[in-house]
Chain A
């Protein structure tokens, strides 16, 4: 519990925007532009949903935020709590409090999930100047969080994501999020591949993390997840930028109208 309190105190003292993306242009290796002037501002305590059709650049945005190497930022800026996020290594971003729940979590043969979780948690604690957790403390914490997410204890002994079902992989992402207690959670298509029961469990897990000090960005193709994680602000993304923003009702409008009209707007 100490971890949580400390982070909350720190972020409570800041009043600036948590995430501020301005005119972000991103290209991939062959020079093709994927993001073309994206703006987004997220404040602590808010839940944003970014909706958009396939190929609109949603996943690229999440990878660029997390620091994946295959993308080149050609223009624009990203500030995280006022700091230049793009200048940081992926692990430094995590230390600052950024977390990406991957759309396709990687499988890591030979590394037990428990070892992975413990290494990650203790690396973060150490680099935030906190004490590492003892084995019993860690085990208690993991078991508690895993239970909340309906994660089988046996899975924690297996290699990271190896042989996991789609739903198990997604739940494992949320488990990591619950353990690491980030300030900004970016969920990239966390609903894809989930049946309705798993979707509810995952949404409950995310809702538990909602707080005044934390921001959540839910990236999704479908409105379905937003019935369970109700956003404060909904953005529509098309052709590499945000073309419209509004309240939760925008998600329903999208569901009714489809993305075609917005894609035309962006062109």
Chain B
């Protein structure tokens, strides 16, 4: 006997569905985009918010963690833009800043000065409204299965940044997409970055996320990274949302033959965050290195979930993720590597390590390998533990106070996830942010 179970919709699920009905006419894009949105919303209505009995969300019960949906963010007014003139989260990098305030492109806070040859930049809202050829790429790279945050992003996305880099072009300086939330009242933002790196092109793109502490806003961000043959993308993410925020991110990337993708994510913000990365190694001989450092305190919950799909032969992937978990925080790492039939000579290695600083901190590590080819080198390792008491003693025996000794060891532990960022000023700025987090830790008793 089959029993159909229709789960009761949560207030958040109901509110999201009704918000779409109210907003869909205002959302940018032609008929095909509208259809994408309708389909995405329909999949959300059917699938709902994921809960702990869904394997991919076992440790991050989004249905329980996101009890309510907040209203959609309004385009920023003058006051919101004024508040957005905050200091650069990555000083010294000298990047081209493109700013989104409350999910909407803010030209007055963006550097649209002379673009390098082959570089196209435009706000997603305009690209969708005008039917720009790059906007037609939206939704080309998809998660392998239903992914609630991604579906919601597709349904609601109002704005974002489209970056196109022509074949062989090279960015003279990094592009920094800044996502700022500036309101005092909670609201939901849906932004998407669409990045098309042509064959042989070279780019460094940064995305950062910031907002006020104490406001329970919900930021949903998606990025579609299309990396052409022999292209090279360095992609850095700084998630420094306000401490009451929910941050849901979906990063979708597809690599062409002999393409290179290196990513580094530094996560320090939000009450609850999830970063899902779906990687398609579609062309032969591509090389990826995904890295990240997560620094959490109090009751923060951060989830990094990777899905690396080795679709063809000769691709290399490396993942190294570190987390330092203070107080009662919880760090989740799930990494799945799939090696498809025929993806011979795959070389995949994944490492995740958690440092438990707080006695009530929790690390959940779930590495998975699914291998359907026989001539491959695959491996994974996961560790969780406390700081080495002997090393702390050695440092303290030299007069270094406990918290400073801990900071030295924590910095060296997480530094490994950032040291491979090739852009020196960017690497230093990331390490400086980690150091600032540690300095704050030193000052609290």
Residues of A with Cβ closer than 8 Å to B?
A: 66-69, 89-91, 93-95, 99-100, 102, 105-106, 108-111, 115-116, 119-120, 123-124, 127, 159, 176, 180
**Do the beta carbons of A91 and B399 come within 8 Å of each other?**
yes
**Do the beta carbons of B402 and A67 come within 8 Å of each other?**
no
In the complex, B404 has a CB within 8 A of chain A: yes
The CA of A111 and the CA of B415, in the complex, are separated in Å by: 10
**Do the beta carbons of A91 and B401 come within 8 Å of each other?**
yes
Contact of A123 among B389, B393, B401, B412 (CB under 8 A): B401
**Do the beta carbons of B412 and A127 come within 8 Å of each other?**
no
The CA of A91 and the CA of B389, in the complex, are separated in Å by: 14
The CA of A69 and the CA of B397, in the complex, are separated in Å by: 12
5 CB-based A-B contacts, threshold 8 Å: A91-B398, A91-B401, A111-B409, A159-B412, A180-B398
In the complex, B74 has a CB within 8 A of chain A: no
Task: List 3 tightest A-B contacts by C-beta distance, closest first.
Answer: A110-B412, A94-B399, A120-B398
Residues of B with Cβ closer than 8 Å to A?
A: 389-391, 393-402, 404-405, 408-409, 411-413, 415-416
Smallest Cβ distance from A20 to chain B, in angstroms? Answer: 21
**Do the beta carbons of B402 and A68 come within 8 Å of each other?**
no
**Do the beta carbons of B399 and A180 come within 8 Å of each other?**
yes
**Do the beta carbons of B394 and A108 come within 8 Å of each other?**
yes
**If A66-B397, A111-B412 touch, does A106 touch B391 (CB 8 Å cutoff)?**
yes
Contact of B398 among A89, A115, A159, A176 (CB under 8 A): A176
**Which A residues touch B390, using CB under 8 A?**
106
Q: Which residue of B lies closest to A90 (CB)?
A: B396
Q: List 13 extra interface pairs beyond A89-B402, A90-B397, A127-B399, CB under 8 A.
A: A66-B393, A67-B393, A68-B393, A91-B400, A91-B401, A91-B405, A94-B399, A108-B408, A108-B409, A111-B408, A111-B411, A123-B401, A180-B399
Query: Across the A-B interface, how many residue pairs have beta carbons closer than 8 Å?
Result: 76
**Do the beta carbons of B413 and A123 come within 8 Å of each other?**
no
**Do the beta carbons of B399 and A116 come within 8 Å of each other?**
no
The CA of A66 and the CA of B394, in the complex, are separated in Å by: 9
**Which B residues touch A90, using CB under 8 A?**
393, 396-397
**Which A residues touch B405, using CB under 8 A?**
91
Contact of B404 among A95, A99, A108, A119 (CB under 8 A): A119
**Do the beta carbons of A91 and B412 come within 8 Å of each other?**
no
**Which A residues touch B393, using CB under 8 A?**
66-69, 90
**If A91-B402, A119-B404, A120-B399 touch, does A110 touch B394 (CB 8 Å cutoff)?**
no
**Do the beta carbons of B396 and A108 come within 8 Å of each other?**
no
Contact of B408 among A100, A119, A176 (CB under 8 A): A119
Q: Which residue of A lies closest to B404 (CB)?
A: A123
The CA of A110 and the CA of B410, in the complex, are separated in Å by: 10
The CA of A176 and the CA of B396, in the complex, are separated in Å by: 13
**Which B residues touch A105, using CB under 8 A?**
394
Q: Which residue of A lies closest to B407 (CB)?
A: A119
The CA of A2 and the CA of B385, in the complex, are separated in Å by: 42
**Do the beta carbons of B398 and A109 come within 8 Å of each other?**
no
**Which A residues touch B411, using CB under 8 A?**
110-111
Contact of B400 among A69, A110, A123 (CB under 8 A): A123
Contact of B413 among A99, A100, A110, A176 (CB under 8 A): A110
**Which B residues touch A119, using CB under 8 A?**
395, 400, 404, 408
**Which B residues touch A67, using CB under 8 A?**
393, 396-397
